[in-house]
Amino acid sequence: MPFAKYEFFKKYIWEGFMIGMLTGTCLVKGEGEIIIDVNGVGYLIQCSSKASADITVGETVCMHIETHVREQAITLYAFETEDERSWFVHLQSVQGVGPKAALAILDILSPSQILSSASLGDKKAFAQAKGIGPKSASRIASELASKPLPRTRGLLGSNASKLDSHLSHSDSKKIENTELTLRNDAISALENLGVGQSDALRAVARAYNIIDGAPLLDDLIKLALKELGK
């Protein structure tokens, strides 16, 4: 497709039909990709190997979708939660990180683990992802620590976690959603108290590692402030 026509298609046609979520039956699955039948239309979507392994052929699935429009292809990336989708996008804001690398990171780290690793500058955690070398891992940890936290889709806003809680996720996925929400709320509270983002990220990460079990928000904030010497 000529570039001019591609830009017209992208701006005026396809972007008016962006897919945010798909619910249907899994027809086929491979490593990192599945086909979902939605009312007779089979959508080929890319996902992490971990996500595809959790899906059974024949079962009904509901996936959050991130649509990538390129000159040569339109690719749908699928995620079990909105937080995973938003971190997939956020990871690609780091120089040199594309969709493949972002999926590789989400294959080994949950969103809350990504947040914690970035907050503590743990480049070794990112280096475990397939295709991520030491230099790239260091850059990812450094750049994420200095960036604002990823935002869920404006349409969902603070209701993203509530929406996911109604979907058929495993108990571990629901716990992960709760943990990430707790971390984000604690970081936001510290920032409202005048604490810089980088300091807030590190303090909450350290506090969460100290607390045994699932903490209450107030306890997490108090311990984070103690870590800051306040």
Burial of 67 (0-12, 13-18, 19+ CB in 10 A): middle
CATH architecture of 83-145: Orthogonal Bundle (1.10)
pTM for the full predicted model: 0.77
Q: 88-145 pLDDT, tens per residue?
A: 999 999 999 999 999 999 999 999 899 999 999 999 999 999 999 999 999 999 999 8
pLDDT at 25: 95
pLDDT at 220: 86
Q: Are 156 and 164 in contact (CB under 8 A)?
A: no
Q: 17-70 pLDDT, tens per residue?
A: 578 889 999 999 988 899 999 999 999 999 988 888 888 999 999 999 998 887
For residue 208, the Cα-to-chain-centroid distance in whole angstroms is 20
State whether CATH 3.90.226.10 applies to domain 19-79: no
The domain segmentation of the chain, as residue ranges, is 19-79, 83-145, 157-227
Q: How confident is the model at residue 191 (pLDDT cuts 50, 70, 90)?
A: confident
Which of 93-97, 125-129, 178-182, 216-220 is predicted least confidently?
178-182
* Mean predicted confidence (pLDDT) in 149-177: 55
pLDDT at 159 over 70: no
pLDDT at 171: 52
pLDDT at 9 over 50: no
